[in-house]
Amino acid sequence: MPKLAANLTMLFTEVPFLERFDAAARAGFKYVEFLFPYDHPAEEIKARLDRNGLTVVLFNLPSGNWAGGDRGIAANPDRVQEFRDGVGRAVAYAGILGPPRLNCLAGKVVPGLGRAEHWRTLVENVRFAADALAAAGRKLVVEPINHYDIPGFFLNRTQEALDLITEAARPNVYVQYDVYHAQREEGNLVPTLRERIASIDHIQVADNPGRHQPGTGEINYPFLFAELDRLGYGGFVGCEYVPAPDTAGSLGWIQAMGCRLS
């Protein structure tokens, strides 16, 4: 069964961010991911990782003013330099924290600008980020987000991400396949995984409806996890869900579904 990573942006929110590393380790996790590390010095995060024997498997490139409503800026023609400056910052953090991949969020459509202009910007920014990460020995993943949770998000469907990868033409660019977003936007989960697993470098999970832990909704996660094994998926599965009723009370599915933390 897949190796699980605790998403520390979503889980263990009962305590401040830096304390979540301790909480994840106490719960038995060996791997973690999170949206952004940039509010804290990389050295502080590294100390928490080392103290707890944890490995970071993923975080996002800087994605604009998250608190102000940004959900990425990679497709925004008006913020190209900001995006590229952010890539440099992310590479510096990755050099200390060590994740093998970073995630790129396309962001929302800019009113008044056409799709073609957004697309050109996204392709060029992905090429820039991929080249910077390749020089550092890392991969770039791009994540489609469903249009219900984030209205106006530019990249919604798996095929759009695959088209982007084809046009960007960089060998270190892959899809981040978020099962929750895929279920809301397009369904067809297992056939997509069967057809596209070679292009997928990271997977995230939550159930639907509610975005709570696997086993709380309509997705047949035991079947999906077994299929990942059949497909030989060797990557990580990030637990990016809203825990119900709380983090400790949400973790029973891991053992029940035969997943592993190490």
Please say if 14 is a catalytic residue. Answer: no
CB atoms closer than 10 angstroms to residue 155: 24
Q: Is the peptide bond before 171 cis (omega within 30 degrees of 0)?
A: no
Residue 143 known to be catalytic: yes
**Distance separating alpha carbons of residues 209 and 255, to the nearest angstrom:** 22
Distance, in Å, from the CA atom of 37 to the CA atom of 19, rounded to the nearest integer, reads 13
Contact 36, 63 (CB under 8 A): yes
User: Largest alpha-carbon pair distance within the chain?
Assistant: 49
> Cα separation of 157 and 201, whole Å?
16
Active-site residue, selected from the candidate residues 33, 160, 185, 240: 240
Instruction: Say how far apart CA 133 and CA 184 lie, in whole Å.
Output: 30
In terms of C-beta density within 10 A (0-12 exposed, 13-18 middle, 19 or more buried), how is residue 111 classed?
A: exposed
Residue 184 and residue 178: Cα distance in Å, rounded? 10
Point out the catalytic residue in the list 143, 160, 185, 195. Answer: 143
66/86 Cα distance (integer angstroms): 13
**Rounded CA separation 196/25 (Å):** 33
Active site amino acids: 143, 240
